[in-house]
Amino acid sequence: MRRLSDRTETFTDSVIRRMTRISNAYGAVNLSQGFPDFDPPAELLESLGHVASSGSVLNHQYSITWGAQAFRDALAEKQSARMGIDIDPDEHIVVTCGSTEAMMAAMMTVANPGDRVAIFSPFYENYGADAILSGAEPVYVPLVPPMFSFDPMRLEAAFRDEGAKALILCNPSNPCGKVFTRPELELIADIVKRYDAYVITDEVYEHIVYAPHVHTYMASLPGMWERTISCSSLSKTYSITGWRLGYTIAPSGITDRIKKVHDFLTVGAAAPLQEAVACALKFPQSYYDDLLNLYSGKRDLLCGGLDDLGIPHTVPEGAYYVMLDISEFGYASDLEFCDDLARLVGVGAVPGSSFFKEPENRYVRLHFAKRDETLRAALKRLGGLRERIAPHVG
Ligand code: GLN
């Protein structure tokens, strides 16, 4: 038999999704793959039921390839107000199958095979695969712990010396919880404009930013609308990760191209789900305040519990992930540590090394998009961590 594609030969299973399978196998409390174990808003479920039973045949057929009109109209209104940009529902939006497809379509729209794309490390694991699938070559720029700050000279070198054509910017960041400050974003924007490059954002945690930090949209900075593809999703904001609804927002010249890439990739996101979710895009501000309160409480619960146990960890500025420092256990492999954590302690985590380009082995990632009782159960089990996992020496 002839060999399968070279391009995909080096692909491994997603470590995040693998850890969910391992957690399930050991009956562990799964704090690895980030998704809620609580219901979406009741209004959204009612709306889904209504769309399913309305008998309108069109709700069950393809929507317009770049997204159902009701969805795009509601999204344009919501995001225009938040981003401070006049977003046109027909010209500037493509609705995709999650932000995962949005990012892939954005990469294929911007990059030619052989082009370089700058990625901050640690990074969400899909970006590396997106680069490979689109033929682009990733250039990694470290976000240095403990503050996950970056060296502007190193970032500039990615464009000046390595010729990066675009930057992938996950803000708020998965996994490190960094929320880029406005001065940091201005600095990045300045470099990107100077080297005539693009920014592809991943802003799926835009509504989960803890005070006093605030979310600034890269596309809203002077001169950046023209060169930014903003990708986001409804998964985290409305607790519907399984609905697979995401989108890109970009100027019409770029959006025209994304529409075509998206059409050939997937034709469209699920039509009835797009119809059903439009009501959520019109929720009042109080919905987003409540969401943030909910996650602030969960962050305090998990971080406070880890403090009580004396387990060192990061405190996220945004998103819903915490990185635990496991250096005291002396494991040569954090994958092995996570296997032991699921098997012996009963908690599912993601090995930090799957997010870093650098040889980093001292972190594991937990998420807190779970009911308080689930988080308490995980903390209870983590109470036995040092008893059950002996330090590896030598
Ligand atoms: N973004 C989530 C995480 O980092 C879910 C990833 C996924 O499996 N799509 O865990």
Between the CA of 348 and the centroid of ligand 1 the distance, in Å, is 14
Residues 129-180 pLDDT 10s: 999 999 999 999 999 999 999 999 999 999 999 999 999 999 999 999 999 9
Contact between 251 and 92 under an 8 Å Cβ cutoff? The reply is yes
Between the CA of 97 and the centroid of ligand 1 the distance, in Å, is 14
Least confident of 56-70, 97-111, 226-240, 350-364: 56-70
Which fold does the domain 15-40+285-392 belong to in CATH? Answer: Aspartate Aminotransferase, domain 1 (3.90.1150)
Between the CA of 153 and the centroid of ligand 1 the distance, in Å, is 31
Q: Which amino acid is at 211?
A: A
Instruction: Write the Ramachandran bin of 195: left for phi over 0, alpha for psi from -120 to 50, otherwise beta.
Output: alpha
pTM: 0.96
Mutate to test the pocket of ligand 1, among 32, 35, 235 (most ligand atoms within 8 A of CB): 35
Q: Considering Cα of 315, then 125, then 25, then 327, what sign does the dihedral take? A: negative
| Helix/strand/coil for 218 | helix
Residues of the chain with CATH 3.90.1150.10: 15-40+285-392
- Find out whether the beta carbon of 174 lies less than 6 Å from any atom of ligand 1: yes
The class that CATH gives domain 42-282 is alpha beta
Please tell me the distance from the alpha carbon of residue 139 to that of residue 119, in angstroms, as a whole number.
Answer: 6
pLDDT at 394 over 60: no
- Find out whether the beta carbon of 235 lies less than 6 Å from any atom of ligand 1: no
Give 363: exposed, middle or buried? Use CB within 10 Å, 0-12, 13-18, 19+: buried
Residues 366-379 pLDDT 10s: 999 999 999 999 99
Residues 258-296 pLDDT 10s: 999 999 999 999 999 999 999 999 999 999 999 999 999
Write the DSSP string, 21-90. Answer: HHHHHHT-EE-SS---SSPPPHHHHHHHHHHHHS--GGGGS---TT--HHHHHHHHHHHHHHHTS---TT
Residues of the chain with CATH 3.40.640.10: 42-282
Between the CA of 73 and the centroid of ligand 1 the distance, in Å, is 28
Average pLDDT, the chain: 96
- Find out whether the beta carbon of 59 lies less than 6 Å from any atom of ligand 1: no
Question: Residue 213's CB: how many other CB atoms inside 10 A?
Answer: 16
Between the CA of 158 and the centroid of ligand 1 the distance, in Å, is 27
Residues 318-349 pLDDT 10s: 999 999 999 999 999 999 999 999 999 999 99
